[in-house]
Amino acid sequence: MRRLLTPLLAVLIAFSLAGCIPAGKSGKLSGQTDIEASASEEEVFLLYPQLMLLSRKLDEAEAYHSLGDLDYSLYLSEALIGDINDFRSTDPDPFVCDHLDNLEHSAIVLNNRIENEETENEWHNHMTSVIDAIGQNHVVEEEIEVVINWRTEHWLRYFQGKGRRHFTRWLERVEIYRDIIEPVLIKQELPRDLLYLAVIESGLNLDARSCVNATGPWQFMAGTGRLFGLRINWWIDERKDIVASTYAAANYLKYLYSLFGKWDLALAGYNAGEYRVAAAISRQKTDDYWRLRLPSQTKWFVPKYMAALIIGRDPAAYGFKIGHVEPLTFDLVRIDRSTDLKHISRGANCTVTRLKKLNPALKRWATPPGMEIDLKVPAGKSGAVLAVLADIPPEERVSWHRHKVRRGETLSRISSRYEISQAELKRINSIRNAHKIREGMILLIPVKDSGQVASATSKPKYKESPHLPSKITVRKYTPPRGHTKVVYTVRDGDTLSEIAERHHVGLSKVRKWNNLRYSSRIHPGQSIVIYLPPGSKAQIADSGGREYDPKRMEGKKKLYHTVRKGETLTSISRLYKARVSDILAWNNSVKKDLVYPGDRLNIWVESN
């Protein structure tokens, strides 16, 4: 190390006599060797730890910029430039000045990028700051507005065709659970139409589980379920409880509607997550669900819901015949201590299997210890169940112990240790073969109840207002007053500068309106938002953004071209030395830039 530092120190001490050289004018000093000029960054950082600190500040500013916190990133980069100037005022050697110049240049570039990305003061807020909710004080309509378009019609055809058998079963389940779900939605001041959200999420299957472990009729992920008051542990999963999960879903949907103010956006947020939808609105500067670029699954999710809602409102009109279905009825019994289901089934005069079917949230053969639950029993049996529970002698009351199987243990040895029969141990833990227990397996062991009443229990929370994190920011762009909004669809051969020139607006404004950086590229089919000032001479045809300017046709003659097999718009444009976008503008009947043999196209060419 000493051998490495000695020559470098000598060089830097010599340089210190010269001071900083202005950026862009620094070069190799007289007598400076190539080895000295190429001293590594690590060596400079070793001698000047201040440079390493400044470099880390630049990295931190760029990190906050990439996370979307433009305000704090700008603050850090401006502070960095000040620190660089302070360090430069100490008159360091030219070798250090080169590094300072590079850091300053990077900070200035970052500042420029931030300023180009800012539109209004709203753009300074990070996505996690508190929102003034778009939908505050909105009145919830009685029915959700249905939009019929080609995506909705696709699902209508599917449900009446290939999906008819499944959808018929779903409609039958609607009649089973309608009297449970609709009163909850009404109580939460939500449209009853939201019942069909559970239909397309799970087919109203209480045991449904997706490939990403979303569970229950409303398909909650574990984290979201807990956020809205559902208890999920080794004993119970309230995502499968039709009452608890419906309350949680109603609270979640109410929250989403307060964010977006539109049910199509709220439903999209339910599927893709509110952060993703809010980011799309902020980035694309539109809150029109049908124009937002969202994940493919979400783009099809809302039309699927609307198709299910259309059929659900009048099944017979779409050829569905639903026979008589008995709605689900039950009584609720509050239980505050762990109780074997066989005692409850005896009082309810039903099998344990029937009791488990009424309570799919229960994962074991007993109610959970230390938790209050509202257990569902057959209608009219609540009094008998309570009487049986009151008559259970103390010696038959049990609590539960979780035993982790150790190496060499057998079911016989474990049952002897806890004074329980092997048959009962196998029944409680759903073990078919006693020889197949393995090390690390968890066994549920009934032990005598301590006699303590579970006063400090976990109580149901799904009816309570959830404690949600800070609302997210939905950045909506407010156009200049009096301007007309136009959406231009990019065609083959278009450039951003040409689009701006055609519409008589500045290129920088087009970038600002569409959140495009200088390095951003546009592609055919992309939608570009443009705000035309009052009295603008730009004329937009009804053909999705294609322009037709008669003045450009002066001095040209019109031809007709019949498309031959194998021809494309690109090959035709080369044949006539015209742009594809011009051919599209001349032929409004061409859809999606596709032509077919036999199509007749209008072509304008030079008259000479």
410-444 per-position pLDDT tens digit: 888 888 888 788 888 887 787 888 887 888 888 88
Q: What is the pLDDT of residues 29-50, one digit of tens each?
A: 333 433 344 445 555 556 667 7
Q: What is the pLDDT of residues 292-336, one digit of tens each?
A: 889 999 999 999 999 999 999 999 999 999 888 999 999 999 988
Q: Where are the domains of the chain?
A: 2-124, 150-318, 330-448, 550-606
Name the 3-class secondary structure at 309.
Answer: helix
Predicted confidence (pLDDT) at residue 19 exceeds the cutoff of 70 = no
Residue 8: what pLDDT? Answer: 42
Residue 91: what pLDDT? Answer: 63
Check if the beta carbon of residue 118 is closer than 8 Å to that of residue 47.
Answer: no
% of the chain residues with pLDDT over 90: 28
Name the 3-class secondary structure at 136.
Answer: coil
Which residues are paired to 445 by β-bridges? 401
Residue 571: what pLDDT? Answer: 86
* Integer CA distances (angstroms), 238 to 123, 224, 253, 518, in order: 40, 12, 18, 50
Highest mean pLDDT: which of 442-451, 539-548, 562-571? 562-571
Q: What is the pLDDT of residues 334-350, one digit of tens each?
A: 988 888 888 899 889 99
Check if the beta carbon of residue 84 is closer than 8 Å to that of residue 104.
Answer: yes
- What values do phi and psi take at 161, rounded to 5? -115, -105
Q: What is the pLDDT of residues 251-261, one digit of tens each?
A: 999 999 988 88
% of the chain residues with pLDDT over 70: 76
CATH 3.40.50.300 fits 550-606, yes or no: no
Residue 515: what pLDDT? Answer: 73
Residue 136: what pLDDT? Answer: 35
Residue 563: what pLDDT? Answer: 87
Residue 483: what pLDDT? Answer: 80
Highest mean pLDDT: which of 181-195, 420-434, 558-572, 576-590? 181-195
Beta strand 330-335 with 556-562 is unpaired
Averaged over 540-546, what is the pLDDT? 42
- In the numeric block, which tokens belong to residue 587? 């032929």
279 or 328, greater pLDDT? 328
Averaged over 69-73, what is the pLDDT? 71
* Mean of the per-residue pLDDT values of the chain: 78
Residue 398: what pLDDT? Answer: 66
Residue 453: what pLDDT? Answer: 45
Structure confidence at residue 121 as a pLDDT band (50, 70, 90): very low
CATH 1.10.530.10 fits 150-318, yes or no: yes
- What values do phi and psi take at 567, rounded to 5? -80, 150
Structure confidence at residue 95 as a pLDDT band (50, 70, 90): low
Residue 123: what pLDDT? Answer: 34
* E-only strand ranges, 391-482: 398-404, 442-448
- In the numeric block, which tokens belong to residue 427? 């029944």
Report the amino acid identity of residue 347: G
Q: What is the pLDDT of residues 438-497, one digit of tens each?
A: 888 888 887 665 554 444 467 888 888 777 766 566 665 666 677 887 878 887 778 888
Distance CA 111, CA 58 (A): 11
Count how many Cα atoms sit within 13 Å of the Cα of residue 238 in the half-sphere of its side chain.
Answer: 29
Task: Give me the architecture of the 330-448 domain, per CATH.
Answer: Roll (3.10)
Residue 592: what pLDDT? Answer: 53
Q: What is the pLDDT of residues 139-160, one digit of tens each?
A: 344 578 899 899 999 999 999 9
Residue 316: what pLDDT? Answer: 93
Check if the beta carbon of residue 211 is closer than 8 Å to that of residue 221.
Answer: no
Q: Does 150-318 match 550-606 in CATH topology?
A: no
Which residues are paired to 600 by β-bridges? 562
Q: Which residues of 298-335 are buried (b: 16+ CB within 10 A; e: fewer)?
A: bbebbbbbbbbbbbbeeeeebebeeeeeeebebbebeb
Residue 2: what pLDDT? Answer: 40
Averaged over 521-526, what is the pLDDT? 78
> What residue has token string 């700051």?
129
